[in-house]
């Protein structure tokens, strides 16, 4: 097949959607499909070699709060690219100006359009944002945009339920997937792991891990409150907070005010082997987000055998990845003691911790990237063949 992916925030990837687009593109190319990418032109270099994938980059602007890049190009230009590349199917993963222009270009050529659902209103507006009319405007745009594809792909059942509020088009659930080999412990030596622990002064302490943006919708400040409660009983525990964002300075101030400078480590963004070592050296991943449509970080943590703790929020799909008491727990976002007690329970019972970690790994195999890509291939083939009988809401 000749496939086009459209995303403002990929190669290099920004956020979960950018990672998902990148992973699917590379895996489909391995399977001998022709893949092209339409994305933003950014100042950040993309260091990984991309063989036999044509990447078209267009002028983009960077938004504040590390919301990523957004490209601007005419539908006429995209029409020309799609026609020249003889594209058979297009997947557009963000409802941005670039996505809208790509949708118009594809419709003019009669190319089937798959729309990826990767953004919530809470990702666009901070949770405390007061402008009711702005929220309604964004929801109206979502309804307009997501009713113009042939099919909507969502990464979780929860995301499917949200997408149904915006579209009458068929919906299929396909996990963002995880390349299990990339997160294998074999890829980091014992020496790599020793140096990592030494770099962040972890010693032999149990380690909690957060991976994600330091932004309002991710609720990272709540982790400091949890640590404040936890350290009253387990003073040796460390928390690694991996990521960057608008809240970095405020978090530093809060950490200092709680007297936790030696217990909470802000690493900034980690990539490659450093990120892998962070996952491998952690005992528990903890995610206090208000908003998630799946959480690639949680999949990565499960692939590296972490127990998981996920905040209870009606907008957080990562809760689907928890089997309560089996591979982790959900926890209250109103009572930090709840998370603290559950962490202490896991760390205080080695047998339980090991069991949860192994169960996480067993569960995440259902989210292998290979499995997700196979499902996506089948959808593409059906749409190219004009099959009208795709399920309205299904998959997994």
Over residues 179-224, the pLDDT tens digits come to: 999 999 999 999 999 999 999 999 999 999 999 999 999 999 999 9
Residue 273 CA to residue 166 CA, distance in Å, equals: 40
Segment 77-91 shows an average pLDDT of 97
Residue 206 CA to residue 5 CA, distance in Å, equals: 41
Band of pLDDT at residue 371, cut at 50, 70 and 90: very high
Question: Does 247 lie in the same domain as 129?
Answer: no
pTM: 0.91
Question: Does 259 lie in the same domain as 223?
Answer: yes
Question: Does 113 lie in the same domain as 90?
Answer: yes
Contact at 8 Å (CB) between 393 and 171? Answer: yes
CA-closest candidate to residue 88, choices 286, 372, 352, 377 = 377
Full residue range of the structural domain in which residue 111 is found: 2-177+368-395
Question: Does 384 lie in the same domain as 336?
Answer: no
Predicted pLDDT at 254: 97
Predicted pLDDT at 137: 86
**Does the pLDDT at position 12 exceed 90?**
no
Question: Does 166 lie in the same domain as 153?
Answer: yes
Question: Does 337 lie in the same domain as 193?
Answer: yes
Question: Does 219 lie in the same domain as 121?
Answer: no
Over residues 50-67, the pLDDT tens digits come to: 778 999 999 888 765 555
Question: Does 89 lie in the same domain as 40?
Answer: yes
Residue 321 CA to residue 209 CA, distance in Å, equals: 17
Into how many domains does the chain fold? 2
Band of pLDDT at residue 14, cut at 50, 70 and 90: confident
CATH of the domain at 252: 3.40.50.2000
Question: Does 295 lie in the same domain as 258?
Answer: yes
Residue 232 CA to residue 214 CA, distance in Å, equals: 25
Question: Does 325 lie in the same domain as 272?
Answer: yes
Cα–Cα distance list, 134 to 16, 100, 121, 159 (Å): 24, 19, 10, 22
Residue 274 CA to residue 291 CA, distance in Å, equals: 26
Predicted pLDDT at 50: 74
Question: Does 319 lie in the same domain as 250?
Answer: yes
Residue 70 CA to residue 7 CA, distance in Å, equals: 9
Question: Does 202 lie in the same domain as 112?
Answer: no
Where is 375: in which H helix or E strand?
helix 369-384
Over residues 138-165, the pLDDT tens digits come to: 889 999 999 999 999 999 999 999 999 9
């Amino acid at each position: 097949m000749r496939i086009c992916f459209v995303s403002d925030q990929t190669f290099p990837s920004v956020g979960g959607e950018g990672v998902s687009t990148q992973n699917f593109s590379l895996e489909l190319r391995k399977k001998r499909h022709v893949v092209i990418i339409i994305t933003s032109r950014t100042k950040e270099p993309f260091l990984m070699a991309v063989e036999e994938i044509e990447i078209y980059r267009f002028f983009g602007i960077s938004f504040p709060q590390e919301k990523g890049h957004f490209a601007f190009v005419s539908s006429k230009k995209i029409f020309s690219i799609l026609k020249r590349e003889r594209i058979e199917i297009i997947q557009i993963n963000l409802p941005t100006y670039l996505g809208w222009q790509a949708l118009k270009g594809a419709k003019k050529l009669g190319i089937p359009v798959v729309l990826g659902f990767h953004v919530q209103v809470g990702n666009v507006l901070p949770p405390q944002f007061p402008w009711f009319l702005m929220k309604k405007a964004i929801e109206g745009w979502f309804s307009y945009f997501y009713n113009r594809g042939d099919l909507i792909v969502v990464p979780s059942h929860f995301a499917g339920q949200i997408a149904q509020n915006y579209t009458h088009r068929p919906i299929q659930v396909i996990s963002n997937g995880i390349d299990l080999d990339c997160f294998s412990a074999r890829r980091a030596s014992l020496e790599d792991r020793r140096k990592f622990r030494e770099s962040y002064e972890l010693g032999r302490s149990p380690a909690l891990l957060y991976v994600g943006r330091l932004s309002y919708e991710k609720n990272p400040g709540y982790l400091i409150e949890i640590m404040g409660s936890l350290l009253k009983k387990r003073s040796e525990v460390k928390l690694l907070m991996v990521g960057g964002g608008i809240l970095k300075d405020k978090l530093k101030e809060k950490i200092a005010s709680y007297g936790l400078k030696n217990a909470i480590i802000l690493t900034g963004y980690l990539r490659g082997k450093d990120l892998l070592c962070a996952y491998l050296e952690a005992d528990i991943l903890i995610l206090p987000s208000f908003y998630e449509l799946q959480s690639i970080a949680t999949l990565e943590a499960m692939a590296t055998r972490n127990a998981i703790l996920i905040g209870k929020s009606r907008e957080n799909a990562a809760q689907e990845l928890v089997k309560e008491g089996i591979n982790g727990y959900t926890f209250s976002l109103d009572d930090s003691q709840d998370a603290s007690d559950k962490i202490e329970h896991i760390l205080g019972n080695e047998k339980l911790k090991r069991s949860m970690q192994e169960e996480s790994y067993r569960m995440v195999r259902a989210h292998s990237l290979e499995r997700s890509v196979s499902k996506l291939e089948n959808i593409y083939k059906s749409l190219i063949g004009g099959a009208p009988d795709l399920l309205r809401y299904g998959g997994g």
